[in-house]
Amino acid sequence: MRITAEISMYPLQEDFVEPIRDFIGQLRQRPGLDIMTNQMSTQLRGDFNDVTSAIADCMRESMEHSATISFVVKYLNADLPIDTRPAV
């Protein structure tokens, strides 16, 4: 099953940009994912196992090497076209 996920990362520290860049860079190294990043979040789509394991592994890595971090993740059991604007 293909899914779409949206994740936002909030490092609770003054220098918050670098941990976010590192996290997105880690996600982009994972095979089998389509990834789109904007100012508010990063969206991923792909096979259920690829998406969920990439998020879990990259979250663990970030949490082990940074100060306190908050993540907000949404999962949708649909393969959304994350690279195009929705028709609203």
Domain membership flag for residue 11:
yes
**What tokens appear for 65 in the block?**
């090497």
In-domain check, residue 87: no
Q: pTM for this one?
A: 0.90
pLDDT of residue 84: 83
Confidence of residue 62 (pLDDT cuts 50, 70, 90): very high
Average pLDDT over residues 58-64: 95
Residue 29 lies inside a defined structural domain of this protein: yes
Which structural domain range is residue 14 located in? 2-76
Cβ atoms within 10 Å of 8's Cβ, excluding its own: 13
Here the tokens at position 30 are: 């994972």
**Cα gap 83→79, rounded to integer Å:** 12
- Exposure string (b/e) for 24-50, b if CB count within 10 Å is 16 or more? eeebeebeebbbebeeeebbbbbeeeb
- Residue found under tokens 């990063």: 42
pLDDT level of residue 67 (50, 70, 90 thresholds): confident
Query: Which CATH number does the domain housing residue 13 bear?
Result: 3.30.70.930
Provide the number of structural domains found in the chain: 1
